[in-house]
Protein backbone atom coordinates (compact mmCIF):
# COMPACT_ATOMS: atom_id res chain seq x y z
CA UNK A 1 0.00 0.00 0.00
CA UNK A 2 1.27 3.46 -0.86
CA UNK A 3 1.09 6.56 1.28
CA UNK A 4 0.47 9.91 -0.43
CA UNK A 5 1.18 13.41 0.75
CA UNK A 6 4.96 13.33 1.06
CA UNK A 7 6.67 16.70 1.42
CA UNK A 8 9.90 15.56 -0.24
CA UNK A 9 11.36 18.08 -2.68
CA UNK A 10 11.83 15.21 -5.13
CA UNK A 11 8.10 15.19 -5.82
CA UNK A 12 8.13 18.92 -6.61
CA UNK A 13 8.80 20.39 -10.02
CA UNK A 14 11.72 22.47 -8.74
CA UNK A 15 13.74 22.73 -11.96
CA UNK A 16 13.37 25.73 -14.21
CA UNK A 17 11.34 24.31 -17.09
CA UNK A 18 12.63 26.73 -19.69
CA UNK A 19 16.27 26.00 -18.83
CA UNK A 20 15.58 22.27 -18.81
CA UNK A 21 14.06 22.41 -22.29
CA UNK A 22 16.96 24.53 -23.56
CA UNK A 23 19.32 21.93 -22.13
CA UNK A 24 17.50 19.16 -24.03
CA UNK A 25 17.83 21.16 -27.25
CA UNK A 26 21.55 21.58 -26.56
CA UNK A 27 21.76 17.83 -25.95
CA UNK A 28 20.35 17.27 -29.45
CA UNK A 29 23.19 19.27 -30.95
CA UNK A 30 25.89 17.67 -28.84
CA UNK A 31 24.83 14.09 -29.59
CA UNK A 32 26.08 14.44 -33.14
CA UNK A 33 29.52 15.63 -32.02
CA UNK A 34 31.56 12.41 -32.17
CA UNK A 35 35.34 12.81 -32.54
CA UNK A 36 37.03 10.77 -35.22
CA UNK A 37 34.10 10.33 -37.60
CA UNK A 38 34.45 11.45 -41.22
CA UNK A 39 32.21 14.26 -42.44
CA UNK A 40 29.43 12.75 -44.57
CA UNK A 41 27.16 15.79 -44.35
CA UNK A 42 24.13 16.38 -42.16
CA UNK A 43 22.28 13.49 -43.77
CA UNK A 44 23.09 10.40 -45.82
CA UNK A 45 20.62 8.95 -48.32
CA UNK A 46 21.11 5.36 -49.49
CA UNK A 47 19.83 4.67 -53.00
CA UNK A 48 18.15 1.47 -51.82
CA UNK A 49 17.56 -0.23 -48.49
CA UNK A 50 16.35 -3.57 -47.21
CA UNK A 51 14.69 -4.61 -43.96
CA UNK A 52 14.71 -8.23 -42.76
CA UNK A 53 11.67 -9.02 -40.63
CA UNK A 54 8.16 -7.81 -41.49
CA UNK A 55 6.80 -7.70 -37.95
CA UNK A 56 5.88 -4.60 -35.99
CA UNK A 57 9.43 -3.32 -35.74
CA UNK A 58 10.54 -4.21 -39.28
CA UNK A 59 7.38 -2.74 -40.75
CA UNK A 60 7.90 0.48 -38.83
CA UNK A 61 11.51 0.75 -40.03
CA UNK A 62 10.40 0.14 -43.62
CA UNK A 63 7.82 2.93 -43.22
CA UNK A 64 10.47 5.31 -41.84
CA UNK A 65 12.60 4.69 -44.92
CA UNK A 66 9.70 4.93 -47.37
CA UNK A 67 8.52 8.14 -45.72
CA UNK A 68 11.67 9.94 -46.93
CA UNK A 69 11.57 8.41 -50.40
CA UNK A 70 14.05 5.56 -49.99
CA UNK A 71 13.02 2.40 -51.90
CA UNK A 72 13.04 -0.55 -49.51
CA UNK A 73 12.76 -4.32 -49.84
CA UNK A 74 10.86 -5.93 -46.94
CA UNK A 75 11.89 -9.55 -46.38
CA UNK A 76 10.41 -12.32 -44.25
CA UNK A 77 10.31 -16.11 -44.22
CA UNK A 78 7.06 -16.63 -46.10
CA UNK A 79 4.70 -14.86 -48.47
CA UNK A 80 2.10 -14.87 -45.69
CA UNK A 81 4.44 -13.18 -43.20
CA UNK A 82 5.37 -10.45 -45.67
CA UNK A 83 1.75 -9.94 -46.71
CA UNK A 84 0.74 -9.55 -43.08
CA UNK A 85 3.48 -6.95 -42.60
CA UNK A 86 2.45 -5.04 -45.72
CA UNK A 87 -1.19 -5.09 -44.62
CA UNK A 88 -0.21 -3.51 -41.31
CA UNK A 89 1.82 -0.82 -43.09
CA UNK A 90 -1.10 -0.12 -45.43
CA UNK A 91 -3.44 0.18 -42.44
CA UNK A 92 -1.05 2.63 -40.76
CA UNK A 93 -0.95 4.82 -43.86
CA UNK A 94 -4.74 4.59 -44.23
CA UNK A 95 -5.11 5.82 -40.66
CA UNK A 96 -2.84 8.79 -41.41
CA UNK A 97 -4.94 9.61 -44.47
CA UNK A 98 -8.14 9.31 -42.44
CA UNK A 99 -6.75 11.68 -39.80
CA UNK A 100 -5.76 14.20 -42.46
CA UNK A 101 -2.04 13.85 -41.81
CA UNK A 102 -1.21 12.39 -45.23
CA UNK A 103 -2.65 12.66 -48.73
CA UNK A 104 -3.84 9.44 -50.36
CA UNK A 105 -1.46 10.01 -53.28
CA UNK A 106 1.50 10.19 -50.85
CA UNK A 107 0.35 7.02 -49.07
CA UNK A 108 0.09 5.21 -52.41
CA UNK A 109 3.57 6.39 -53.42
CA UNK A 110 5.08 5.18 -50.16
CA UNK A 111 3.40 1.80 -50.42
CA UNK A 112 4.75 1.39 -53.96
CA UNK A 113 8.29 2.03 -52.68
CA UNK A 114 8.12 -1.04 -50.40
CA UNK A 115 8.80 -4.28 -52.26
CA UNK A 116 8.00 -7.65 -50.60
CA UNK A 117 10.43 -10.56 -50.79
CA UNK A 118 11.08 -13.94 -49.18
CA UNK A 119 14.61 -14.55 -50.46
CA UNK A 120 17.79 -13.03 -49.04
CA UNK A 121 18.99 -12.55 -52.61
CA UNK A 122 16.65 -9.54 -52.69
CA UNK A 123 19.14 -7.54 -50.58
CA UNK A 124 21.78 -7.64 -53.34
CA UNK A 125 21.33 -4.02 -54.47
CA UNK A 126 20.75 -2.44 -51.04
CA UNK A 127 23.20 0.11 -49.69
CA UNK A 128 22.01 -0.67 -46.16
CA UNK A 129 20.25 -3.72 -44.74
CA UNK A 130 18.59 -3.51 -41.33
CA UNK A 131 17.80 -6.76 -39.55
CA UNK A 132 14.67 -6.57 -37.38
CA UNK A 133 13.89 -10.16 -36.45
CA UNK A 134 12.97 -11.45 -32.99
CA UNK A 135 15.47 -10.76 -30.20
CA UNK A 136 17.07 -14.20 -30.35
CA UNK A 137 20.84 -14.43 -30.83
CA UNK A 138 21.00 -17.72 -32.81
CA UNK A 139 18.32 -16.40 -35.17
CA UNK A 140 20.20 -13.13 -35.70
CA UNK A 141 23.44 -15.02 -36.33
CA UNK A 142 21.70 -17.07 -39.03
CA UNK A 143 20.34 -13.90 -40.63
CA UNK A 144 23.75 -12.21 -40.68
CA UNK A 145 25.37 -15.28 -42.16
CA UNK A 146 22.84 -15.09 -45.00
CA UNK A 147 23.32 -11.32 -45.39
CA UNK A 148 27.07 -11.84 -45.65
CA UNK A 149 26.47 -14.19 -48.58
CA UNK A 150 24.01 -11.96 -50.44
CA UNK A 151 24.66 -8.29 -49.59
CA UNK A 152 26.90 -6.37 -51.96
CA UNK A 153 30.40 -5.27 -51.03
CA UNK A 154 30.28 -2.07 -48.98
CA UNK A 155 26.67 -2.49 -47.86
CA UNK A 156 26.02 -1.47 -44.27
CA UNK A 157 24.54 -4.28 -42.16
CA UNK A 158 22.55 -2.96 -39.22
CA UNK A 159 21.05 -5.02 -36.41
CA UNK A 160 17.99 -3.75 -34.60
CA UNK A 161 18.90 -5.48 -31.36
CA UNK A 162 17.80 -3.88 -28.12
CA UNK A 163 20.52 -5.42 -25.98
CA UNK A 164 22.65 -8.10 -27.67
CA UNK A 165 26.39 -7.96 -28.34
CA UNK A 166 27.22 -6.31 -31.65
CA UNK A 167 30.63 -7.99 -31.95
CA UNK A 168 29.10 -11.45 -31.60
CA UNK A 169 26.63 -10.67 -34.38
CA UNK A 170 29.35 -9.12 -36.54
CA UNK A 171 31.47 -12.25 -36.16
CA UNK A 172 28.84 -14.17 -38.14
CA UNK A 173 30.06 -12.25 -41.20
CA UNK A 174 33.36 -11.84 -43.04
CA UNK A 175 32.94 -8.05 -42.85
CA UNK A 176 32.58 -6.93 -39.22
CA UNK A 177 33.68 -3.43 -40.23
CA UNK A 178 30.31 -3.03 -42.03
CA UNK A 179 28.17 -4.21 -39.08
CA UNK A 180 26.59 -1.78 -36.61
CA UNK A 181 23.80 -1.70 -34.05
CA UNK A 182 20.74 0.31 -35.11
CA UNK A 183 18.33 0.21 -32.17
CA UNK A 184 15.04 1.74 -33.28
CA UNK A 185 12.17 2.17 -30.83
CA UNK A 186 8.63 0.95 -31.42
CA UNK A 187 6.69 2.08 -33.34
CA UNK A 188 9.74 2.83 -35.44
CA UNK A 189 7.86 5.06 -37.86
CA UNK A 190 6.88 7.32 -34.93
CA UNK A 191 9.46 7.11 -32.13
CA UNK A 192 12.36 9.53 -32.57
CA UNK A 193 15.18 7.85 -30.67
CA UNK A 194 17.78 5.78 -32.53
CA UNK A 195 20.64 4.25 -30.53
CA UNK A 196 23.65 3.74 -32.82
CA UNK A 197 26.06 1.11 -31.48
CA UNK A 198 29.39 0.57 -33.22
CA UNK A 199 31.19 -2.70 -32.64
CA UNK A 200 34.90 -3.01 -31.99
CA UNK A 201 35.62 -3.28 -35.73
CA UNK A 202 32.89 -1.01 -37.15
CA UNK A 203 34.38 1.42 -39.68
CA UNK A 204 34.05 5.12 -38.75
CA UNK A 205 32.46 5.79 -42.17
CA UNK A 206 29.72 3.25 -41.41
CA UNK A 207 28.98 4.89 -38.08
CA UNK A 208 28.96 8.37 -39.63
CA UNK A 209 26.56 7.30 -42.36
CA UNK A 210 24.16 5.61 -39.94
CA UNK A 211 24.11 8.70 -37.71
CA UNK A 212 23.42 10.83 -40.80
CA UNK A 213 20.72 8.43 -42.01
CA UNK A 214 19.05 8.69 -38.63
CA UNK A 215 18.85 12.47 -39.03
CA UNK A 216 17.40 12.07 -42.53
CA UNK A 217 14.68 9.82 -41.07
CA UNK A 218 13.82 12.50 -38.53
CA UNK A 219 15.32 10.50 -35.69
CA UNK A 220 17.52 11.60 -32.81
CA UNK A 221 20.60 9.38 -33.21
CA UNK A 222 22.64 8.84 -30.05
CA UNK A 223 25.85 6.82 -29.98
CA UNK A 224 25.96 4.08 -27.34
CA UNK A 225 28.70 1.68 -26.31
CA UNK A 226 28.44 -2.04 -26.97
CA UNK A 227 27.38 -3.27 -23.55
CA UNK A 228 24.27 -5.28 -22.71
CA UNK A 229 21.23 -3.02 -23.00
CA UNK A 230 23.36 -0.16 -24.39
CA UNK A 231 22.19 3.06 -22.68
CA UNK A 232 18.41 3.02 -22.46
CA UNK A 233 17.64 -0.60 -21.68
CA UNK A 234 20.61 -1.03 -19.35
CA UNK A 235 19.06 1.68 -17.19
CA UNK A 236 15.52 0.39 -17.72
CA UNK A 237 16.44 -2.99 -16.22
CA UNK A 238 17.38 -1.32 -12.92
CA UNK A 239 14.23 0.80 -12.98
CA UNK A 240 11.93 -2.18 -13.60
CA UNK A 241 13.75 -4.29 -11.01
CA UNK A 242 13.07 -1.72 -8.29
CA UNK A 243 9.44 -1.39 -9.36
CA UNK A 244 9.05 -5.16 -9.09
CA UNK A 245 10.71 -5.21 -5.66
CA UNK A 246 8.23 -2.54 -4.56
CA UNK A 247 5.33 -4.77 -5.66
CA UNK A 248 6.73 -7.66 -3.65
CA UNK A 249 7.22 -5.46 -0.59
CA UNK A 250 3.84 -3.72 -0.42
CA UNK A 251 2.96 -1.54 -3.43
CA UNK A 252 0.50 -2.27 -6.23
CA UNK A 253 0.91 -1.56 -9.96
CA UNK A 254 -1.57 1.31 -9.94
CA UNK A 255 0.30 3.01 -7.07
CA UNK A 256 3.72 2.76 -8.70
CA UNK A 257 2.33 4.00 -12.01
CA UNK A 258 0.43 6.87 -10.35
CA UNK A 259 3.55 8.18 -8.60
CA UNK A 260 5.71 8.06 -11.73
CA UNK A 261 3.07 9.55 -13.99
CA UNK A 262 2.49 12.35 -11.47
CA UNK A 263 6.23 13.04 -11.62
CA UNK A 264 5.83 13.52 -15.36
CA UNK A 265 6.70 10.23 -17.07
CA UNK A 266 4.52 9.43 -20.07
CA UNK A 267 3.40 6.23 -18.33
CA UNK A 268 4.39 4.03 -15.42
CA UNK A 269 6.18 0.70 -15.77
CA UNK A 270 3.09 -1.50 -15.47
CA UNK A 271 0.99 0.42 -17.97
CA UNK A 272 4.02 0.25 -20.27
CA UNK A 273 4.46 -3.49 -19.72
CA UNK A 274 0.80 -4.24 -20.41
CA UNK A 275 0.97 -2.21 -23.61
CA UNK A 276 4.19 -3.91 -24.79
CA UNK A 277 2.91 -7.40 -24.01
CA UNK A 278 3.89 -9.41 -20.96
CA UNK A 279 4.76 -12.60 -22.82
CA UNK A 280 7.94 -11.16 -24.37
CA UNK A 281 9.03 -9.68 -21.04
CA UNK A 282 8.42 -13.02 -19.32
CA UNK A 283 10.54 -14.81 -21.92
CA UNK A 284 13.43 -12.42 -21.20
CA UNK A 285 12.98 -13.07 -17.48
CA UNK A 286 13.00 -16.86 -17.95
CA UNK A 287 16.27 -16.67 -19.89
CA UNK A 288 17.77 -14.47 -17.20
CA UNK A 289 16.80 -17.01 -14.51
CA UNK A 290 18.92 -19.66 -16.26
CA UNK A 291 22.15 -17.64 -16.04
CA UNK A 292 21.89 -15.42 -12.99
CA UNK A 293 23.95 -15.66 -9.82
CA UNK A 294 22.60 -16.40 -6.36
CA UNK A 295 24.57 -13.69 -4.56
CA UNK A 296 21.69 -11.23 -4.59
CA UNK A 297 17.94 -10.90 -4.37
CA UNK A 298 15.98 -11.29 -7.61
CA UNK A 299 12.46 -10.13 -8.45
CA UNK A 300 10.46 -12.75 -10.35
CA UNK A 301 7.02 -11.23 -9.86
CA UNK A 302 7.09 -10.20 -13.54
CA UNK A 303 6.18 -13.84 -14.32
CA UNK A 304 3.06 -13.74 -12.14
CA UNK A 305 0.50 -12.29 -14.60
CA UNK A 306 1.80 -14.49 -17.44
CA UNK A 307 1.51 -17.60 -15.29
CA UNK A 308 -2.11 -16.54 -14.67
CA UNK A 309 -2.75 -16.22 -18.41
CA UNK A 310 -2.79 -12.42 -18.28
CA UNK A 311 -0.64 -11.18 -21.18
CA UNK A 312 -1.51 -7.48 -21.20
CA UNK A 313 -3.79 -5.24 -23.23
CA UNK A 314 -4.11 -7.69 -26.11
CA UNK A 315 -5.80 -10.28 -23.86
CA UNK A 316 -7.89 -7.84 -21.83
CA UNK A 317 -5.89 -8.32 -18.65
CA UNK A 318 -2.35 -8.03 -17.38
CA UNK A 319 -1.31 -5.99 -14.39
CA UNK A 320 -4.59 -4.20 -15.07
CA UNK A 321 -7.88 -5.18 -16.66
CA UNK A 322 -9.25 -3.65 -19.84
CA UNK A 323 -12.82 -3.26 -21.05
CA UNK A 324 -13.46 -4.64 -24.54
CA UNK A 325 -12.30 -2.14 -27.15
CA UNK A 326 -10.81 0.16 -24.50
CA UNK A 327 -7.09 0.46 -23.74
CA UNK A 328 -7.59 2.40 -20.51
CA UNK A 329 -5.97 0.46 -17.63
CA UNK A 330 -8.33 -0.24 -14.76
CA UNK A 331 -7.13 -1.35 -11.35
CA UNK A 332 -8.02 -4.99 -10.84
CA UNK A 333 -8.70 -6.19 -7.26
CA UNK A 334 -8.19 -9.77 -8.43
CA UNK A 335 -4.67 -9.02 -9.64
CA UNK A 336 -3.92 -7.09 -6.44
CA UNK A 337 -5.00 -10.16 -4.47
CA UNK A 338 -2.64 -12.36 -6.49
CA UNK A 339 0.21 -9.94 -5.72
CA UNK A 340 -0.50 -10.11 -1.98
CA UNK A 341 -0.55 -13.91 -2.14
CA UNK A 342 2.70 -13.92 -4.11
CA UNK A 343 4.44 -11.85 -1.43
CA UNK A 344 3.31 -14.37 1.17
CA UNK A 345 4.58 -17.30 -0.90
CA UNK A 346 8.08 -15.84 -1.15
CA UNK A 347 8.14 -14.93 2.52
CA UNK A 348 8.01 -11.13 2.21
CA UNK A 349 6.05 -9.24 4.87
CA UNK A 350 4.18 -6.48 3.06
CA UNK A 351 4.40 -2.96 4.49
CA UNK A 352 3.28 0.61 3.87
CA UNK A 353 5.39 2.21 1.13
CA UNK A 354 5.34 5.97 0.63
CA UNK A 355 5.14 7.80 -2.67
CA UNK A 356 8.56 9.24 -1.86
CA UNK A 357 10.13 5.79 -1.60
CA UNK A 358 8.53 4.67 -4.86
CA UNK A 359 9.87 7.70 -6.68
CA UNK A 360 13.36 7.55 -5.23
CA UNK A 361 13.88 3.84 -5.70
CA UNK A 362 12.72 3.87 -9.32
CA UNK A 363 14.42 7.08 -10.45
CA UNK A 364 17.59 6.88 -8.36
CA UNK A 365 18.12 3.41 -9.84
CA UNK A 366 18.23 5.15 -13.24
CA UNK A 367 20.70 7.75 -11.99
CA UNK A 368 23.03 5.25 -10.34
CA UNK A 369 23.14 3.01 -13.42
CA UNK A 370 23.70 6.05 -15.64
CA UNK A 371 26.74 6.97 -13.55
CA UNK A 372 28.17 3.49 -14.16
CA UNK A 373 27.54 3.85 -17.92
CA UNK A 374 29.37 7.16 -18.03
CA UNK A 375 32.37 5.75 -16.19
CA UNK A 376 32.42 2.70 -18.47
CA UNK A 377 32.27 4.84 -21.59
CA UNK A 378 28.93 3.39 -22.74
CA UNK A 379 27.66 6.96 -22.91
CA UNK A 380 29.96 9.81 -23.96
CA UNK A 381 28.36 12.54 -21.89
CA UNK A 382 25.51 13.04 -19.39
CA UNK A 383 23.40 14.89 -21.94
CA UNK A 384 23.41 11.83 -24.23
CA UNK A 385 21.80 9.81 -21.45
CA UNK A 386 19.25 12.52 -20.76
CA UNK A 387 18.45 12.74 -24.48
CA UNK A 388 17.89 8.98 -24.66
CA UNK A 389 15.43 9.11 -21.78
CA UNK A 390 13.54 12.20 -22.93
CA UNK A 391 13.17 11.05 -26.56
CA UNK A 392 12.79 7.30 -26.08
CA UNK A 393 11.52 6.50 -22.59
CA UNK A 394 8.98 9.19 -21.78
CA UNK A 395 11.02 11.13 -19.22
CA UNK A 396 9.56 14.66 -18.99
CA UNK A 397 11.46 17.17 -21.11
CA UNK A 398 10.66 19.94 -18.64
CA UNK A 399 12.80 18.09 -16.08
CA UNK A 400 15.68 17.77 -18.53
CA UNK A 401 16.36 14.04 -18.17
CA UNK A 402 17.35 11.88 -15.18
CA UNK A 403 20.85 13.35 -14.74
CA UNK A 404 19.83 16.99 -15.19
CA UNK A 405 17.05 16.33 -12.67
CA UNK A 406 19.46 14.64 -10.24
CA UNK A 407 21.72 17.70 -10.40
CA UNK A 408 18.73 19.86 -9.51
CA UNK A 409 18.09 17.71 -6.42
CA UNK A 410 21.76 17.76 -5.39
CA UNK A 411 24.04 14.77 -5.87
CA UNK A 412 25.05 14.73 -2.20
CA UNK A 413 21.40 14.05 -1.33
CA UNK A 414 21.01 11.51 -4.13
CA UNK A 415 24.15 9.69 -2.97
CA UNK A 416 22.96 9.63 0.63
CA UNK A 417 19.77 7.86 -0.41
CA UNK A 418 21.59 5.45 -2.73
CA UNK A 419 23.93 4.52 0.12
CA UNK A 420 20.94 4.04 2.43
CA UNK A 421 19.22 1.81 -0.13
CA UNK A 422 22.47 -0.13 -0.50
CA UNK A 423 22.51 -0.80 3.22
CA UNK A 424 18.82 -1.73 3.29
CA UNK A 425 18.42 -3.64 0.02
CA UNK A 426 21.82 -4.97 -0.93
CA UNK A 427 24.09 -5.26 -3.92
CA UNK A 428 21.81 -3.83 -6.62
CA UNK A 429 22.29 -0.47 -4.94
CA UNK A 430 26.08 -0.44 -4.78
CA UNK A 431 26.84 3.23 -5.49
CA UNK A 432 28.61 3.95 -8.75
CA UNK A 433 32.13 5.27 -8.04
CA UNK A 434 31.41 8.28 -10.22
CA UNK A 435 28.29 9.15 -8.22
CA UNK A 436 30.32 8.81 -5.02
CA UNK A 437 32.99 11.21 -6.31
CA UNK A 438 30.51 13.78 -7.53
CA UNK A 439 28.34 13.57 -4.44
CA UNK A 440 31.23 13.92 -2.00
CA UNK A 441 32.98 16.77 -3.80
CA UNK A 442 29.95 18.91 -4.54
CA UNK A 443 30.36 18.42 -8.29
CA UNK A 444 27.56 17.72 -10.77
CA UNK A 445 26.89 15.75 -13.93
CA UNK A 446 26.80 19.14 -15.66
CA UNK A 447 30.47 19.60 -14.71
CA UNK A 448 31.25 16.35 -16.55
CA UNK A 449 29.28 17.54 -19.54
CA UNK A 450 31.21 20.80 -19.67
CA UNK A 451 34.49 18.89 -19.55
CA UNK A 452 33.27 16.68 -22.43
CA UNK A 453 32.44 19.67 -24.58
CA UNK A 454 28.93 20.53 -23.48
CA UNK A 455 26.75 20.81 -20.44
CA UNK A 456 23.95 22.61 -18.74
CA UNK A 457 23.70 26.30 -19.27
How many helices (H) and strands (E) are present in the chain, helices listed first? 19, 10
Question: 354, 369, 386 — which closes off a domain?
Answer: 354
Q: Which of 205, 265, 188 is closest to 11 using CA atoms?
A: 265
Q: CB 430: neighbour CB atoms within 10 A?
A: 15
Tally of structural domains, the chain: 3
The radius of gyration computed from the CA coordinates of the chain, to the nearest angstrom, equals: 22
Q: Say if 209 falls within a structural domain.
A: yes
Q: What DSSP string runs through 78-126? A: SHHHHHHHHHHHHHHHHHHHHTTSS-HHHHHHHHHTEEEESSGGGGTT-
Distance CA 217, CA 190 (A): 10
Q: Phi/psi zone of residue 229: left (φ > 0), alpha (ψ -120 to 50 degrees), beta?
A: left
> pLDDT tens for residues 55-113?
999 999 999 999 999 999 999 999 999 999 999 999 999 999 999 999 999 999 999 99
Question: 296, 321, 354 — which closes off a domain?
Answer: 354
Predicted local distance difference test score (pLDDT) of residue 8: 43
Residues 65 and 17 in one domain: no
Distance CA 226, CA 223 (A): 10
Q: What DSSP string runs through 410-443? A: -HHHHHHHHHHHHHHH-GGGPPPHHHHHHHHHT-
Predicted local distance difference test score (pLDDT) of residue 291: 84
Q: Say if 233 falls within a structural domain.
A: no
Residues 56 and 189 in one domain: yes
* 8 A C-beta contact, residue 274 and residue 319: yes
Q: What angle do CA 337, 339, 345 make, to 5 degrees?
A: 105
Predicted local distance difference test score (pLDDT) of residue 7: 39
Distance CA 334, CA 313 (A): 16
Dihedrals phi, psi of 197, to nearest 5 degrees:
-125, 100
Alpha helices in 181-276 (DSSP H): 204-216, 232-249, 253-263, 269-276
Distance CA 286, CA 343 (A): 19
The answer to pTM > 0.85 is yes
Residues 344 and 440 in one domain: no
Residues 360 and 349 in one domain: no
Q: Which domain holds residue 423?
A: 9-32+356-451
CATH number of the domain that 204 lies in? 3.40.50.720
Predicted local distance difference test score (pLDDT) of residue 12: 43
Predicted local distance difference test score (pLDDT) of residue 456: 53
Residues 185 and 143 in one domain: yes
3-class DSSP assignment, residue 251: coil
Residues 366 and 440 in one domain: yes
* CB contact set of 74 (below 8 Å; sequence gap of 6+): 50, 51, 54, 58, 59, 62, 82, 85, 86, 114, 115, 116, 117
Residues 132 and 146 in one domain: yes
Predicted local distance difference test score (pLDDT) of residue 14: 54
Residues 136 and 210 in one domain: yes
Q: Say if 435 falls within a structural domain.
A: yes
Predicted local distance difference test score (pLDDT) of residue 285: 84
Q: Which of 389, 415, 418 is closest to 402 using CA atoms?
A: 389
CATH number of the domain that 434 lies in? 1.10.1040.50
Residues 27 and 85 in one domain: no
Residues 259 and 284 in one domain: yes
Q: Which of 7, 13, 10 is closest to 416 using CA atoms?
A: 10
* CB contact set of 163 (below 8 Å; sequence gap of 6+): 135, 228, 229, 230, 233, 234
Distance CA 232, CA 389 (A): 7
In the DSSP assignment, the letter for residue 237 is H
Residue ranges in the chain whose pLDDT is less than 70: 1-15, 452-457
Residues 268 and 415 in one domain: no
Q: Say if 58 falls within a structural domain.
A: yes
Predicted local distance difference test score (pLDDT) of residue 6: 41
Residues 75 and 193 in one domain: yes
3-class DSSP assignment, residue 64: helix
Distance CA 366, CA 380 (A): 17
Distance CA 387, CA 232 (A): 10
Amino acid sequence: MSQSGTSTPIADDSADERKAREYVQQAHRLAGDIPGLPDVGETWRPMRAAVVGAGTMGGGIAMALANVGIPVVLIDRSTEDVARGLAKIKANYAHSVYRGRLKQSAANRRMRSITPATDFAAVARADIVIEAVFEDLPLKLDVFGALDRHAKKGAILGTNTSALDIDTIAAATSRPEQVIGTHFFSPANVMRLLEVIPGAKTAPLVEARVMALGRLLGKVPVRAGNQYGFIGNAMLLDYLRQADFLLEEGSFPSEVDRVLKKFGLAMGPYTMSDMSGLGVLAEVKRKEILTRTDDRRHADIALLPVDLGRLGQKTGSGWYRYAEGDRTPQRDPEMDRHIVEYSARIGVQRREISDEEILKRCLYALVNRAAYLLEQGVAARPSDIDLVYVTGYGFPAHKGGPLYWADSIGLADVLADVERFHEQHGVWWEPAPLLVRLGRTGATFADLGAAAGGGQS
